[in-house]
Amino acid sequence: MIPTVEQVAAMIDHSLLRPELTTAEVRQGCAVAAERHTASVCVRPGDVELAAALLAGSGVLVGTVVGFPHGSTTTALKVAETRALVAAGADEIDMVLAIGRLRGGETEAVHDDIAAVVAAAQGRCVKVILENAYLSDEQKVTGCRLAERAGAGFVKTSTGFAPGGATLADIRLMRATVSGAVQVKAAGGVRTLDTLLELAAAGATRFGATATAAILDDLAARRRGEPAATPSPVPADAY
């Protein structure tokens, strides 16, 4: 059964992470999120205070990123960044784990890095970005298990800035790896309604997207019995 527009909107983190976005464009993106009633916006760290002010009372959460996009900053810096962003009004934190350390088998260092951010988030949802394009399936499984053990609320496929994004195989693998206490977020290349629905069927419950309006408009049209829309070109950017 095809979901409602409201149900799909409530699974989207509207992405505003491209480095060239102006303040006016961030304001416009927040307005889209508020109008469409998305789960959240995901903004650059420097935009958190603005987004929190713009979205106050809207029901749209303010998400942001830590250690983005490479995950290679020190744990101390990730913790300081998280604390500052929480103070600025962030409701959710999408952190990039230490990719190189995971690939190198330094599992306790990866775990401790995530756990420190979870603690610094003070109860707010932390989504751990694995950046699957750089990982083997075994490393993806290990990263998911470490994220769950460290207290993360989500495991997430990608930043959107790596060579690859969310795939059906990765969503299935991640969903099979973590317990029901942890959700799976698909990000990177989620640009059409069909892609979103396919990934949702595989177990993803949150989606990073820039093409939010197009996805929701397509769904509304289909529910009216109109033919599926031909996707318009969108930037190959984050999410």
Residues classed as catalytic: 94, 156, 185
| Angstrom distances, CA of residue 41 to CA of 65, 67, 86 | 11, 18, 15
* Cβ atoms 239, 195 nearer than 8 A: no
CA distance 117 to 128: 10
CA distance 87 to 104: 34
Residue spans of beta strands (DSSP E) within the chain: 12-16, 40-43, 61-66, 92-96, 125-129, 154-156, 183-186, 206-209
